[in-house]
Structure 1
Amino acid sequence: GQHSSVTHIFCYCFAAWSVAGCGASRLSDLGALKQASPTTKKMWSHQRKWRKFKSPLEFPLEAKYRPILESTFPIDPMSRFNLKRGSPQEEFPYLRGNHTLMGEILTLHLYTRQFNRATESGVIFDDIIRPGLEDPGKPTEPGQVKSVGCLAGDAQSYILFCDFFDRIIEAYHDYKMTSTQESDFNSGNLKGGEDFDAAYAVSCEIRAARCVEDFCFPMHCSRGERRALLSLAQKALTKLSEEFPGKLYSMEQLSQDGDGKGLSMMSPSPAMCKIGVARDWPSARAVWVSENGQLVILVNFEDHLKLECTRTDANLQLAFDCICANLLRLEKLYKNLRHTFVWKEHLGWVVSSPAEVGTALKASVTVRLQHLPGHKRLENVLDRLRLHMIPTDKPGLYIVTNTPTIGFTEVGVVQLVVDGVKLLISMEKRLENHGGIDDLVPTHKLSGYTDTQLHV
């Protein structure tokens, strides 16, 4: 046993020490070894043999604490799965005819690097790119942008799959991932958001999304997580109603005919159904509506929270004031509940779609344009302004909104829309009078935190 081995070791060491004490201190020397007695030679040979085949030592404390130490090592999440998958070459998706950014950027080499990775909550790369495979998109019209074709399953997705997401963010936002994102909720820094020409600017809207730390994003979250998020939202929005009157409506309680106040159970969009965001609909979904009807907060839709401020005039300043004030209130209320919104230094506010990280804010103005949409330089102008234009169901009405959400502060994003819409209106007026617009074409609006003046 262990005690017998220790006893033998002790005897060998004691014998060697005794021989050295009797004058055989040079047993390593060949001459001294020859002069040694047969018993000493036998012991020496046995000792050399033991040294050659010495077994590793085991310490009682090591055996006791090894399981505890090993439990602290991070476990590779992929080791928990037994996915019946082939090689990356066999699993690489069919991308011909795919009109998303994901379809443009994804290569077999990039897919292979992400293939055997999984976040701690179990998100794998195939989950990330599934939205672009379920909805491959269509060829874009002038002034429109491609969809990203991917979603994050949790905040860690942006870190673990950064090789892919960084490329998507750089391509969509025309932004290099080399600097830190800044934030500015001082709506007083916005210039000119209240004086659009009412003959052209019809209405406006600002949307802002937030996701809560330590919860999976809607594409991947469980029923329990979704219900826990709704419980948090109920507590926070109850407190919010004390400062900014409003009411929370559960989607499960709303009938198909509505509640008599203009609300009805909203059906999920086909896109939401395809990507899994609408699982278990309408369970644990809710909508909070302010008393004046201008602010709506969606709970557990595309993101954990989405604030929408809509105005029937084009006063973007007031809409921005409302969004900033209530975002700050909600951030404080969630912190009091020991939960924070997801923020990363290089990404800013982190939400499900890489098309919205940074500020997670979209500002839009509905504009009446008759001549400019058909102009040959429109696409180039919108690209320089960092805007895109979406046609509505009504002829001559277009929604103009910002393309980038990262690389600018919240004020900077809304300022892009303010300056850009005013320039588009100036161009429309020029075309109405049969004039040219070449001298109005702006310089490219660069990402960053310094103002670039437009040539209006």
Structure 2
Amino acid sequence: MWKRKKEWLIKPPMEYPLETKYKPVLESLIPPDPMSKLKLKRRCPKEEFPSLDGNYTCMARVLDLHMYTRQFNRATEGGVIFDDIIQPGLEDRGTRTGPLSAGCLAGDAQSYILFCDFFERVIEAYHGYKVLGHVMHKSDFNYDNLKGGDDFDQEYAVSCEVSVSRCIEDFCFPTHCSRGERRQLLTLGKKALDQLGEELPGKLYSMEDLNQETEDKGLVLDAPPIMLMKTGVARDWPDARALWLSENGSLAVWLNMEDHLKLVSSRTDADLQEAFASICINLVKLEAIYNKLRHSFIWKPHLGWVVSSPAEVGTGLKATVTIRLRHLPKNKHLENILDRLRLRMEASNSHGLYKISNQQTIGLTEVEFMQLVVDGVKLLIRIEKRLEDNAGIDDLVPAQK
């Protein structure tokens, strides 16, 4: 009796003829797990978990063994694993008092989907913005909606710059792309900029061309920062890196640097409105050209424009105004003022000059971020003038963000 029962327990499940016939076909339709193709010589997650002591990045804030274990056995179709994502933050650990850094870089667009638990927490820690799947990110390139930016006090406002980054569909991001991909991106960029040049004439320079030009003028073009080399962004430097400059000097386009594309408009008259208009007009034109070439800019409804760093997703936009300040940098309320204005301040190379820029890139439209910078810079200049007259500033300090 016992023997018969035991045989019954180990009896294989019943098979049906049609199931037997179509099972191989159905299994062949299931996409293979990319991780199963990688033969990585790794120990268990506990043994592989990185040391985060003295790490002040957003990555270190949100990462624990539980989160690491959940992400450990995942890989994107491009072969990006979680350790690739967090490595930049292990190379550059940040400082307690320095500017906050994200501490991670996506290897491709799919990274933001596959490792969404991690990236959404980093975005919240860095930007103070909670990513919600049902909330769609909005864009606004109508530069006429910006109020001001061409009327800063010229005694204080020295110069300005607006930049915006983009990555291209179907290509890995700089930390993970191959030489062939990078060269293909350069070829694609040349085609796009040739078409843009029909309306805005310009010239494309390789890094070798730039080095030659700067040497002829007695200048030396800086090598990429060591951190870009360590994180893999500057691999094979200067292969397939280039800079396009418009003849009228209104626009520069960097290819294959921290991201696939970076448009920059700089002005020595601090006319932020004009710089923003130049970016909007040419960015929209370039987007249409890339779409025609069947390689669109990467957009995710809940994240906006997606680039390699979570510190720049959403708009990829940074607006910077360099202003002259003598008293405000020493004021005890400075940190509180900047935090409430959602602005960042960095000392420039020249004494008494400071760069003011937007702290976030997600949660608002391009025009709204520009408006934050315009209104914030005007307020900082008003506060500086009050301090010059030894007057109080309490009524000018914003009540909240």
For Structure 1 versus Structure 2, the TM-score category normalised by the shorter chain is: over 0.9
1:142-161 mapped onto 2 (5 Å cutoff): 145-161=99-115
Paired residue for 2:152? 196
Q: Is the 8 A contact 1:208 1:306 kept in 2?
A: yes
Please state if 1:114 is matched with 2:71: yes
User: 1:269 offset after TM fit, Å?
Assistant: 1.5
One-letter code aligned to 1:246: G
What residue number does 2:121 align with? 167
SS at match of 1:325: helix
Distance 1:174 1:410 in 2: 17
Q: Distance in 1 between matches of 2:255 and 2:175?
A: 14
**1:93 alignment counterpart:** 50
Task: Calculate percent identity across the aligned residue pairs.
Answer: 64
Letter in 2 for 1:139: R
Q: How does 1:280-429 map to 2 (within 5 A)?
A: 280-429=236-385
Alpha-carbon distance in 1 for matches of 2:30, 2:160: 52
Aligned pair partner of 1:56 in 15, 20, 24: 15
CA deviation vs aligned residue, 1:197-232 (integer Å, no higher than 9, x gap): 000010000010000011110110111111111111
Larger Rg: 1
Q: Distance in 1 between matches of 2:85 and 2:322?
A: 32
CA deviations over 1:325-353 (Å, ceiling 9, x no partner): 01000000001101100000000000000
Stretch deviating more after TM superposition (104-113 or 323-332): 104-113
Q: What letter is aligned with 1:148? A: A
For residues 273 and 198 of structure 2, the distance between their equivalents in structure 1, rounded to whole angstroms, comes to 24
**Partner-residue secondary structure (3-state), 1:367:** strand
Equivalence for 1:70: 27
Distance 2:168 2:14 in 1: 53
Relative to structure 2, which stretch is displaced further, 66-75 or 98-107?
A: 66-75
1:169-208 deviation line (CA, Å, top 9, x unaligned) = 1111111212211000000000011000000010000010
- State how far apart, in whole Å, the 2-side matches of 1:415 and 1:255 are: 37
What stretches of structure 1 of length at least 5 have no aligned partner?
A: 1-48, 446-456
Instruction: Report the counterpart of residue 222 of structure 1 in structure 2.
Output: 178
How far, CA to CA, are the matches of 1:390 and 1:53 in structure 2? Answer: 70
Task: For 2:210 and 2:20, locate their aligned partners in 1 and report how far apart those are by CA, in whole Å.
Answer: 61
Q: Secondary structure at the match of 1:165?
A: helix
- Structure 2 stretches of 5 or more lacking a match? 1-7
Partners of 1:348 and 1:394 in 2: how far apart? 35
8 Å CA contact retained: 1:252, 1:283? no
1:225-266 deviation per Cα after TM superposition (whole angstroms, max 9, x unaligned): 111111110100000011111111122444455385899755
Distance, in Å, in 1 between the alignment partners of 2:265 and 2:182 is 24
Aligned 8 A contact 1:256 1:265 in 2: no
Distance in structure 1 (CA, Å) of the matches to 2:41 and 2:183: 31
User: Retained in 2: the 8 A contact 1:245–1:290?
Assistant: yes
Distance, in Å, in 2 between the alignment partners of 1:266 and 1:71 is: 52
Q: Distance in 2 between matches of 1:351 and 1:264?
A: 30
TM superposition shift of 1:72: 2.0
CA 1:257–1:287: 2 relative to 1, 3 Å: closer
Relative contact order, CA 8 A, sep 6+: which one is greater?
2
Separation in 1, partners of 2:141, 2:29: 41
Task: State the alpha-carbon separation in 2 of the partners of residues 54 and 405 from structure 1.
Answer: 56
Structure 1 residues 55 and 128: alpha-carbon distance in aligned structure 2, compared to 1, 3 A threshold: closer
Report the aligned-residue RMSD: 2.1
In the alignment, what sits opposite 2:3?
Answer: none
Equivalence for 1:250: 206
In 2: Cα distance, 1:397 partner to 1:74 partner: 55
Note the alpha carbon deviations across 1:25-78, whole angstroms, 9 max, x for none: xxxxxxxxxxxxxxxxxxxxxxxx9xx99963445x964x65544332111111
- Does the CA contact (< 8 Å) of 1:193 and 1:315 recur in 2? yes
Q: Structure 1 stretch 99-108 or stretch 375-384: which is displaced more?
A: 99-108
With normalisation by structure 1, the TM-score equals 0.82
Whether the aligned pair in 2 keeps the contact of 1:92 and 1:108 (CA below 8 Å) is: yes
Amino acid in the other structure paired with 1:351: V
Assess, with a 3 A threshold, how the Cα gap between structure 1 residues 90 and 248 changes in structure 2: closer, same or farther: same
Equivalent of residue 102 in structure 1, options 59, 75, 91: 59
Cα distance change, pair 440–212 in 1 and its aligned pair in 2 (3 A): same
